[in-house]
C-alpha cells in the first residue's frame, strides 16, 4: 500500500495535479500508515532529504488543514533553495508563503528510550536561519483530507527557502517575543512573532525531534528543521516578491514567476 500511495502522490506533485482523496486500497487509516507512505515518498527523491518541517503549529493552522495537532514532513533537497531564489509559481493552490525559524543540526539525534528535552535538542543545533516555506497539497480539499492522508502527503510540503545563518547570538534571544516582519513588495505588510509557533519555536523543534525519533528515525547532522509559520501566512500570486525580515537574526527573500 505505502509504495503505491507514494507513487501516486509523487506523480501528482510533479505534474501539479490534485485528487479528492487516495483510492480506498491506498488510503492510510492511521498516523503510522501516513508516515510509512511519506517515507516511501522521500525514497523516490534522488537525493538525501534536506531536513524536516512541522505543519499546523498554531490553532489557526490546525483549523486551516483540518487536523487536531502538529504533523511532521520531509523537506526534499530538490525543492529546497537558498535566499533570493526565484521560484515558478505554477499550479500552487495554497498560494501562501510562511516565515519560519529554521534550525540546522551540528550533530545527529537518534531514537532514545526517553523523549529529548528542549535543552538536549538545542545542544545539537549548530545554527539558526530565517526561512520561508511555500506549502501546497496534492488534495483538492486539503482541509477535509484528514490527518493520515495529509501526513502521507508530506504534511503539505512543497518548496522551502533558507536564509543565511544568524550572526547574532540567537541562544540569548527570547524567540517567543522576537518579531518577524512579513512583506510582499507593493502588497501586504505585517508582523508576527515566535509565540505563534506552539508558543515557542524551540518547543516546536523539540516536538519535531521527538516525533521523528519516535518513528525510529534520526535527525542527521547537517539537516534543517523548520518549525512552522510565526505569522499569518502571506497570500501570494505570480510575479510577487516576498521579504521576511527577522531583524537581528537576518532576512530571507524569494520571488515568484508565473
Domain residue ranges of the chain, discontinuous segments joined by +: 2-257
Backbone φ and ψ for 44, nearest 5 degrees, come out as: -75, -15
The alpha-carbon radius of gyration of the chain (Å, integer) is 17
For 206, residues 6+ apart whose C-beta sits below 8 A from its C-beta are: 116, 117, 118, 121
Query: Average pLDDT, stretch 24-41?
Result: 97
- The 10s digit of each residue's pLDDT in 139-163 is 999 989 999 999 999 999 999 999 9
- The 10s digit of each residue's pLDDT in 38-82 is 999 999 999 999 999 999 877 777 777 878 889 999 999 999 999
Q: Could you give the residue ranges of the DSSP H alpha helices within the chain? A: 2-15, 31-43, 59-65, 118-123, 147-152, 201-214
Query: Bridge partners of 75?
Result: 51
Distance from C-alpha of 258 to C-alpha of 254, rounded to nearest angstrom: 14
**pLDDT grade, residue 258 (50/70/90)?**
confident
pLDDT for 66 equals 79
pLDDT for 63 equals 78
Q: Share the mean pLDDT of the chain.
A: 96
Query: Average pLDDT, stretch 186-212?
Result: 96
Least confident of 48-62, 161-175, 194-208, 223-237: 48-62
Asked if 207 contacts 68 with a C-beta cutoff of 8 angstroms, the reply is: no
| pLDDT higher at 143 or 100 | 100
Query: Average pLDDT, stretch 183-206?
Result: 96
pLDDT for 64 equals 75
CB atoms within 10 A of CB 60: 12
Asked if 2 contacts 149 with a C-beta cutoff of 8 angstroms, the reply is: no
- The 10s digit of each residue's pLDDT in 119-142 is 999 999 999 999 999 999 999 999
Model pTM?
Answer: 0.96
pLDDT for 62 equals 79
pLDDT for 155 equals 97
Q: Could you give the percent of the chain with pLDDT greater than 70?
A: 100
pLDDT at 216 over 80: yes
Query: Average pLDDT, stretch 173-186?
Result: 97
Q: Which fold has domain 2-257?
A: Fumarylacetoacetate hydrolase; domain 2 (3.90.850)
Amino acid at each position: 500500500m505505502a509504495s503505491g500511495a507514494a507513487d501516486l502522490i509523487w506523480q501528482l506533485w510533479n505534474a501539479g495535479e490534485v485528487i479528492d482523496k487516495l483510492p480506498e486500497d491506498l488510503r492510510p487509516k492511521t498516523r503510522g500508515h501516513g508516515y510509512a507512505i511519506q517515507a516511501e515518498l522521500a525514497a523516490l527523491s534522488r537525493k538525501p532529504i534536506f531536513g524536516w518541517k512541522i505543519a499546523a503549529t498554531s490553532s489557526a493552522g490546525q483549523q486551516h488543514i483540518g487536523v487536531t495537532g502538529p504533523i511532521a514532513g520531509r523537506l526534499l533537497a530538490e525543492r529546497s533553495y537558498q535566499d533570493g531564489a526565484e521560484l515558478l509559481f505554477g499550479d500552487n493552490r495554497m498560494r501562501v508563503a510562511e516565515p519560519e525559524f529554521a534550525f540546522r543540526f551540528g550533530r545527529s539525534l537518534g531514537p532514545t528510550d526517553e523523549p529529548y528535552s528542549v535543552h538536549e535538542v538545542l545542544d545539537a543545533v549548530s545554527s539558526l536561519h530565517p526561512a520561508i516555506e511555500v506549502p501546497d497539497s496534492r488534495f483538492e480539499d486539503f482541509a477535509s483530507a484528514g490527518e493520515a492522508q495529509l501526513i502521507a502527503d508530506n504534511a503539505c510540503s512543497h518548496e522551502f527557502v533558507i536564509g543565511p545563518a544568524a550572526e547574532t547570538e540567537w541562544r540569548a534571544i527570547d524567540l517567543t517575543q522576537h518579531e518577524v516582519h512579513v512583506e510582499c513588495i507593493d502588497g501586504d505588510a505585517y508582523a508576527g512573532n515566535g509565540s505563534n509557533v506552539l508558543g515557542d519555536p524551540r518547543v516546536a523543534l523539540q516536538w519535531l525531534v521527538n516525533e521523528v525519533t519516535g518513528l525510529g528515525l534520526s535527525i542527521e547532522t547537517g539537516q534543517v528543521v523548520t518549525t512552522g509559520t510565526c505569522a499569518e501566512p502571506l497570500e501570494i500570486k505570480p510575479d510577487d516578491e516576498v521579504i521576511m525580515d527577522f531583524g537581528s537574526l537576518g532576512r530571507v527573500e524569494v520571488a515568484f514567476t508565473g
